[in-house]
């Protein structure tokens, strides 16, 4: 159906959404003229940790590629004050967050980017990616994702006992050494994306240039000159500030092509911790202090994934708020099938159903069967027209007056939609006549 000159849009048959907040989006990689895949599958996720990067450094830096990932640079609190502990927390879904914001992703307690269930009750809302496994890497693997990781810090060296633990579940893992390797890391990851072909990916990158001593390839200062030594007595805050910023700007330039390939997917950019630069006489990290815990957070969650999460959350809230008045389902008591819907049929939704709205589309909550159904954009209009009970012929007449569609096409699509409601036992036996 269409309004005016808009293209016709078919009425959507009711979709039963899976309880797993992870949509099946069949979008494959496209290719540019060089033969390199231009974008990854939209279900993919890129996680970048800028090791030791302070929030104020990120805000001050000229880093257009990293900043373009999201609409806002958030001042978040890291789960720990050193690399290994913070990443192990992220490996089970606890990313840097903001306790004062009751919003998905910003507050991991509200809703995480990714979550390992581990048989535990969820704290509040569903995550963008609900996973099962030892950690998120294993979880993405079990969900059919190819998992690719590249770490700069020694904690990610798979040849060491500790590094073997944190990197064990990647399909492909690379460690170029301490810690100035972002140019090689980006090249390797792009090669891995080319080899991966289609299908969803989980890609992780830990960047080392932003870690003390804050040096990057061809920097005009010596890599041996560390301006951020623990317990130092000389105030070198200005050097720390200038050098970490310069390193971040170098990193940003190197990561532009990689970020472009994830333009249609989900991306999270953050830091595992910050550094002290003389605050309270402290230098570097490894101790709990506001400066070591305050980090930047920029992100983009692919819209369909986020929408599915929001729909599931709305359905759960509706079930919870209406659970005390859930009525027995009004269908199936006699065991007789409902007659097929015709134009003369007066239809109504079951009295025990709860309807709510997400992004302009109606969700039908079936508390008795613990399921929810998305009506789609035009189907939502039909649900509104049904009201307390209405004939299919009346619904067709209203829609013809609103949309540019012929009578037969409108009739066919309305009846198909209403019959789908009936097949899912969402119509009331007592009102169909």
pLDDT in tens, 60-102: 999 999 999 999 999 999 999 999 999 999 999 999 999 999 9
Per-residue confidence (pLDDT) for residue 32, from 0 to 100:
40
Dihedral angle, C-alpha 116, 120, 125, 128, nearest 10 °: 10
Which whole number is the average pLDDT over 18-46? 52
CA distances from 216 to 95, 155, 249 (A): 26, 19, 10
**pLDDT cut 90: percent of the chain above it:** 54
- On whether the CB atoms of residues 290 and 222 are closer than 8 A, the answer is no
Chain mean pLDDT for the chain: 83
pTM for this structure?
0.75
Retrieve residue 87's tokens.
Answer: 């990443």
């390193």: which residue's tokens? 247
Taking 70 as the threshold, does the pLDDT of residue 398 lie above it? Answer: yes
Higher-confidence position of 423 and 275? 275
CA distance 428 to 425: 8
* DSSP-derived 3-state class of residue 97: strand
* Both structure tokens of 120: 């535990």
Q: Please tell me the predicted confidence (pLDDT) of residue 61.
A: 98
pLDDT higher than threshold 80 for residue 18:
no
Residues comprising the chain, all counted: 433
Q: Within its chain, how far is the Cα of 187 from the centroid?
A: 25
106-155 residue pLDDT tens? 999 888 999 887 766 666 778 889 899 999 999 999 999 999 999 999 99
What is the tens place of the pLDDT at every residue in 401-421? 888 888 999 899 889 888 888
């Amino acid at each position: 159906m269409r309004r005016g000159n808009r293209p016709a849009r078919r009425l959507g048959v009711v979709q039963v959404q899976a309880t797993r907040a992870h949509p099946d989006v069949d979008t494959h990689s496209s290719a540019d003229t060089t033969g390199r895949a231009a974008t990854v599958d939209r279900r993919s996720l890129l996680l970048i940790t800028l090791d030791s990067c302070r929030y104020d450094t990120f805000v001050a830096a000229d880093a257009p590629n990293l900043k373009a990932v999201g609409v806002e640079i958030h001042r978040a609190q890291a789960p720990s004050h050193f690399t290994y502990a913070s990443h192990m927390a992220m490996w089970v879904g606890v990313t840097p967050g903001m306790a004062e914001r009751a919003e998905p992703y910003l507050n991991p307690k509200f809703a995480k980017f990714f979550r390992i269930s581990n048989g535990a009750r969820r704290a509040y809302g569903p995550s963008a990616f609900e996973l099962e496994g030892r950690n998120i890497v294993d979880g993405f693997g079990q969900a059919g994702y190819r998992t690719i990781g590249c770490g700069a810090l020694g904690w990610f060296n798979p040849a060491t006992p500790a590094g073997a633990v944190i990197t064990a579940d990647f399909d492909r893992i690379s460690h170029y050494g301490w810690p100035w390797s972002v140019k090689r890391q980006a090249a390797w990851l792009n090669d891995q994306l080319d080899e991966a072909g289609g299908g969803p990916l989980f890609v992780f990158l830990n960047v080392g240039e932003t870690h003390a001593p804050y040096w990057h390839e061809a920097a005009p200062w010596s890599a041996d000159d560390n301006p951020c030594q623990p317990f130092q007595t000389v105030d070198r805050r200005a050097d720390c500030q200038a050098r970490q910023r310069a390193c971040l700007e170098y990193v940003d330039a190197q990561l532009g092509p990689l970020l472009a390939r994830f333009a249609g997917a989900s991306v999270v950019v953050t830091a595992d911790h910050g550094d002290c630069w003389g605050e309270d006489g402290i230098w570097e990290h490894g101790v709990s202090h506001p400066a070591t815990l305050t980090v930047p957070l920029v992100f983009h969650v692919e819209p369909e994934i986020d929408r599915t999460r929001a729909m599931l959350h709305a359905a759960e809230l509706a079930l919870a708020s209406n659970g005390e008045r859930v009525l027995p389902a009004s269908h199936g008591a006699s065991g007789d099938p409902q007659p097929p819907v015709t134009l003369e049929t007066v239809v109504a939704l079951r009295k025990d159903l709860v309807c709510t709205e997400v992004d302009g589309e109606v969700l039908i909550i079936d508390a008795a069967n613990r399921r929810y159904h998305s009506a789609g954009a035009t189907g939502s209009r039909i649900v509104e027209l049904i009201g307390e009970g209405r004939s299919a012929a009346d619904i067709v007449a209203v829609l013809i007056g609103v949309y540019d569609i012929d009578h037969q096409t409108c009739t066919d699509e309305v009846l198909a939609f209403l019959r789908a409601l009936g097949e899912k036992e969402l119509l009331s036996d007592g009102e169909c006549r």
